[in-house]
Structure 1
Amino acid sequence: MFRKGEEPIGRTVGRVSRAIARGFDEALNAAGGSFSTWIVLLELKLNPGANQRALAAEIGIEPATLTHHLNGMERSGLITRRRDPANRRVHIVELTEAGEARFAELAEAAREFDARVRSGFSAAEIGSLRALLGRLCANIDAEDTP
């Protein structure tokens, strides 16, 4: 099955993924943020005025979990929520000036962390890594297809 002393590729990728996630969390925390705040701010920058349901789907979390995060962000003055005039059951989420400023701070931390992760790799190696990781995902997705 596995050669003696050879780590299964899934374990290697998982270990690297956890290390990167831990390092990124630390970088965001040092900049005064968190991963949950970053991902919401990023999605709102990519899709200004998104509704809460679409935001949860795009981020990939349960609506109740997003509501919990948004409550804290609203208390901190980073976002506002308002009812959609076209559908009163839908809440539109928007960045405030403070949210824009926090996004800029966290984006700088994200850029610095990305540079740290890429350190020592050429652009071609990063391209190859992306392609290889894409192939791993495709292999997993192929197994999920009936």
Structure 2
Amino acid sequence: MFELSAKPIGLDLAHTAKVVRRALDDAMIANGGSLPVWSVLISVKSRQFGHQRQLAESVGIQGATLTHHLNAMEADGLLTRRRDPANRRKHLVELTPSGEALFLRLRETAIAFDRQLRTGISQDELDHARSVFTRLRANVGGEGVQTKDEAEAEL
């Protein structure tokens, strides 16, 4: 027989992630974007993922879902897609001036949200939390374990 003396950490973590994700999405929506739009903008802006397939992997969504977001963002004038001259089967994704402006606005939103999230938490506590998050991901065989520098580079 299996007994739990305390709430499972996985459930607590999942609930916390859901609450924080919803609050961040709400903040992004209030400033003209959304969490998926922000994820695409930051990935394109970083120029690490110019091709759609790489972009889908970096954002962590299926290709068809990414295509839906890209279609909407292109229709809104936030980005352009064009064939890669070196490989016509691939599309290059680039931000337009409107996309750049939205990126800057949402970056400020993300910074303010991060500041709010850190309220009352010391740097030592944050470092410890990141260490625990890394261990939790490793315990479930999670890939893409992010370093502190990588996380900070996203902002």
TM-score of the two chains, using structure 1 as the length reference: 0.92
Output aligned runs, 1:1-146, within 5 Å: 1-3=3-5, 6-47=6-47, 50-141=50-141
Greater share of helix: 1
The list of structure 1 runs, each at least 4 consecutive aligned residues, that deviate by more than 2 angstroms after superposition, is none
Structure 1 spans left out of the alignment, 5+ residues = none
TM-score of the two chains, using structure 2 as the length reference: 0.86
Q: Larger deviation: 109-118 or 46-55? A: 46-55
DSSP 3-state at the match of 2:83: strand
Change (3 A) 1:118 1:49: closer
Deviations 1:51-81 (A, max 9, x none): 1111112212111111110000001110001
Structure 2 spans left out of the alignment, 5+ residues = 143-155
Cα RMSD of the aligned pairs, angstroms, is 1.3
Distance 2:127 2:49 in 1: 33
Per the TM alignment, residue 106 of structure 1 is displaced from its structure 2 partner at its CA by: 0.4
The letter for the 1-side match of 2:62 is E
Per the TM alignment, residue 133 of structure 1 is displaced from its structure 2 partner at its CA by: 1.1
The letter for the 1-side match of 2:43 is E
Per the TM alignment, residue 91 of structure 1 is displaced from its structure 2 partner at its CA by: 0.6
Distance 2:62 2:23 in 1: 25
* Higher RCO, Cα 8 Å, sep 6+: 1
Give the number of equivalent residue pairs. 140
Q: Which has the larger radius of gyration?
A: 1
Distance 2:92 2:86 in 1: 11
Per the TM alignment, residue 111 of structure 1 is displaced from its structure 2 partner at its CA by: 0.6
